[in-house]
């Protein structure tokens, strides 16, 4: 069984990106699962807190899931044309302590998707992730892009992805990414 950790980069319960990950979990290829997680409860990174108290429990739990996963799928919102601060903060915590970066990120297949109410999807946020992923030593997948623009119009009132074309694109994206992870 191939396990992908799916991280939503929004704290909102009604987040379009959280909804996108829920849809992805439904559409995973046979023999693969998506472990959908959020970043709630991860405090702002503070080296003094890390030195005095170690890693917060929410970070330790998420690091455990990351290490066990075969791949990582980031569902990123786009705030002010870039990565949301809370999402980057979560990844910063996951990269601590520095001696454990390789165990969690080195060579890890990673893909980035995103949903936005705006007209450009999350193209700038997805591009902004590339230097971060490179620094962590991940193995990004560039096989397909998935940036759902005007995503709120593709979902129903319960935030379920109902648009057939969007579901088809997501399914194809997941097929490609899971094949990449299995290589």
- C-beta separation of 4 from 181 below 8 A: yes
Q: How is residue 141 annotated by DSSP?
A: -
Q: What confidence score (pLDDT) does residue 13 get?
A: 85
Q: What gap in Å lies between CA 82 and CA 57, rounded to an integer?
A: 28
Mean pLDDT of the residues in the chain: 96
Delimit the domains of the chain by residue range: 2-182
Whether the full predicted model's pTM is greater than 0.95, yes or no, is yes
Three-state DSSP class for residue 71: strand
Q: What confidence score (pLDDT) does residue 127 get?
A: 96
pLDDT, tens only, 18-73: 999 999 999 999 999 999 999 999 999 999 999 999 999 999 999 999 999 999 99
Topology of domain 2-182, CATH? Rossmann fold (3.40.50)
- C-beta separation of 181 from 69 below 8 A: no
In this structure, the chain runs to a length of: 183
């Amino acid at each position: 069984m191939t396990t992908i950790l799916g991280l939503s980069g929004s704290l909102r319960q009604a987040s379009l990106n959280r909804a996108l990950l829920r849809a992805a979990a439904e559409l995973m290829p046979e023999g693969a699962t998506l472990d959908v997680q959020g970043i709630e409860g991860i405090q702002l990174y503070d080296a003094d807190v890390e030195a005095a108290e170690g890693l917060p429990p929410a970070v330790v739990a998420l690091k455990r899931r990351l290490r066990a996963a075969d791949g990582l799928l980031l569902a990123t919102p786009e705030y002010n044309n870039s990565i949301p601060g809370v999402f980057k903060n979560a990844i910063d915590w996951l990269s601590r302590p520095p001696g454990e970066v390789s165990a969690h990120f080195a060579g890890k297949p990673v893909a980035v998707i995103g949903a936005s109410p705006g007209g450009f999807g999350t193209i700038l946020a997805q591009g902004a992730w590339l230097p971060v992923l490179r620094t962590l030593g991940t193995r990004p997948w560039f096989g397909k892009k998935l940036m759902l623009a005007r995503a709120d119009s593709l979902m129903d009132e319960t935030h379920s992805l109902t648009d057939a074309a969007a579901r088809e694109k997501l399914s194809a994206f997941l097929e490609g990414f899971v094949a990449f992870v299995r290589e």
